[in-house]
Amino acid sequence: MGASTKLLAMQPSIFNIRVPLRDRDDVFLLNTLTDAQLIVSSDVAGLLDRPSFDSLTDSEREAVDVLKENGFFVSDYTADRRALEEYFYSVKHSTEELHITVLTTLQCNFACGYCYQGDREDFNQFAEKMTLETAARVADWIETELDRLRPAKFAMTFFGGEPLLNLAAVYDLADRTWAATQARGIPQSLSVITNGLLLTSDVVDRLVPRGLRGVKITLDGDRATHDRMRPLRGGQGTFDRIIENIRKVADRTRISIGGNFDESSADTFPALLDFLKDQDFADKLVKVNFKPIVRDQPPPAPTLKGTLPLIPVNDHGKPLGGSCMTSVGGGGGSTCDSCSFLDEKMAFLREETRRRGLPGPSGVPGGPCHVHHANAHTIGPDGSIYGCPGFTGEKAMSTGHIDGRLDAWRERNRNRFDTLDPWKACGDCAFLPTCAGGCLTASFAQLGDVNTPTCHKPTFESAVIALAHRVAGTTQETVQ
């Protein structure tokens, strides 16, 4: 009777997600902590609701065993929550990879209206640029970290500003870290997030031998919209030149297309997808992924209608006093129209991307982001260290410096980032293992608090539904 005793002491995991499949008596089951995915008949799914397990048939017992093996049953609630905390701890302290994001400059040749690094006032004139001396010190700091952690992999992302405006620092860092990693037998991979204007075959060919793994380029809608959203500082359009640059390097490295939409531009993205689908480099694209623009204040130009803030909410889905268009300040109980719009658009664009055979995202987040990784760092042009790239516009948010200086304010920030646990305000949300409280840059921008969750549960839910039917569509005939 040992097995029965064990079965009695268990309950469904709080991380289970169920999606009934259309036109069939099956249910897609996902556990976000174990990442298990099953397609089961509805009677199997019904076992998760069973109040007791003292009279199971043999086939029911076998089914319960499979559900238990995959994490859909747990011993008790406390064990489920403890497993989550252990998972977050293991992610935070993993030494599998050291990942450094380097901002070679905060300068940019674009003047995107939604970016704090845009051509407003005199920002660009005085924006920082990494010197070669600082680049050498950054490389030394990375070498020290490699020796301290002894990671299995080293990854470095060049970001900005526009990172290719400081190619000297890019090349110098790539060369130095390549030598350091080669000497230690650690594989190096590089990636570049660029606006694409200065991306050439020469740049790619120079970095591929240093481990270049891919380049992410941003397109903000169809040609006219992109040229409006992402003009040069002189106001000229950039779309055509970026596309030509992509064409020239697409067979040399992996290309990922990103894009930022707001209420005024979202509906032009299907035309962009049509355009991309017809390009000769379409089959070379490894990811096409569009996201909403995060704002901390209404856009300055009247042509950019409305704001699309990511709204921090509590575990009842109510805003926590953020800058929501329709529920300002109090969580007044109504659905946030702008959030709903945003989530619907993200889901719509995901499906439109896949419908055209382009490699879209699943929409289900892959786990806690870099801000929760102790061994992922962002380094600004002056050597300041940050928790994630989203904070680099605020030097006051720096958590350290590569020269080891101990400023009291940086120490306070470091302690603050070391103890982040925004998910504790999320209750028992089933998406906790993959979301971990959402984008804390958005939380900081809107509430001034990095430890408040930013919730997009509806978009995750629609993504899981789409995933379930995609999986079921490809495996329908094999379900037995």
Partner 1 sequence: MKIKVIKKGTVNAKPVSYCDVIVDDIGPDKRV
Site for partner 1 in 210-239 (CB under 8 A): 213-214, 216, 218
Tell me how far, at minimum, the Cβ of 408 lies from partner 1, in Å.
25
CA distances from 104 to 127, 130, 326, 348, 387 (A): 11, 5, 39, 35, 17
Residue with smaller CB distance to partner 1, 163 or 383: 163
Residue with smaller CB distance to partner 1, 39 or 336: 39
Scanning 57-65, 163-171, 179-187, 413-421 for contacts with partner 1 by CB under 8 A, the matching segment is 57-65
Residue with smaller CB distance to partner 1, 318 or 373: 373
Kindly tell me which residue out of 22, 54, 59, 329 binds partner 1, with binding defined by CB under 8 A. 59
Kindly tell me which residue out of 196, 319, 433, 438 binds partner 1, with binding defined by CB under 8 A. 433
Tell whether residue 40 is a contact of partner 1 (CB under 8 A): yes
Closest CA to 216 of 146, 147, 316, 289: 289
Q: Long-range pairs for 331-338 at CB < 8 Å and ≥24 separation?
A: 336/311, 338/263, 338/306, 338/307, 338/308, 338/309, 338/311
Scanning 28-36, 176-184, 298-306, 318-326 for contacts with partner 1 by CB under 8 A, the matching segment is 28-36
Distance (Å, rounded) from C-alpha 310 to C-alpha 336? 10
Cβ contact 215:252 at 8 Å = no
CB atoms within 10 A of CB 410: 19
Instruction: Kindly identify the residues of this chain, within the stretch 375-414, that bind partner 1 according to CB under 8 A.
Output: 376, 388-390, 393
Scanning 139-147, 171-179, 292-300, 329-337 for contacts with partner 1 by CB under 8 A, the matching segment is 292-300
Instruction: Kindly identify the residues of this chain, within the stretch 149-208, that bind partner 1 according to CB under 8 A.
Output: 155, 157, 159, 189, 191, 193, 195
Kindly tell me which residue out of 6, 10, 70, 314 binds partner 1, with binding defined by CB under 8 A. 70
Residue with smaller CB distance to partner 1, 125 or 480: 480
For helices 167-184 and 132-149, angle between their N-to-C axes, nearest 10 degrees: 30
CA torsion through residues 159, 160, 162, 167, sign: negative
Closest CA to 147 of 112, 176, 110, 184: 184
Tell whether residue 463 is a contact of partner 1 (CB under 8 A): no
Tell me how far, at minimum, the Cβ of 86 lies from partner 1, in Å.
8
DSSP string, 284-332: GEEEEEEEEPP-SS--SSTTS-S--PPPPB-TTS-B-S---SSSTTT--
Kindly tell me which residue out of 105, 413, 434, 454 binds partner 1, with binding defined by CB under 8 A. 434
Scanning 110-118, 166-174, 299-307, 450-458 for contacts with partner 1 by CB under 8 A, the matching segment is 110-118
R_g of the chain, CA atoms, integer Å: 24
Q: How many residues bind partner 1 (CB under 8 A)?
A: 82
Distance (Å, rounded) from C-alpha 101 to C-alpha 167? 15
Kindly tell me which residue out of 196, 319, 368, 437 binds partner 1, with binding defined by CB under 8 A. 368
Tell whether residue 370 is a contact of partner 1 (CB under 8 A): yes
Residue with smaller CB distance to partner 1, 141 or 154: 154
Instruction: Kindly identify the residues of this chain, within the stretch 248-277, that bind partner 1 according to CB under 8 A.
Output: 256, 258-260
Closest CA to 162 of 211, 100, 119, 210: 119
DSSP string, 351-390: HHHHHTT-----SS--SS-GGG-TTEEEE-TTSEEESSGG
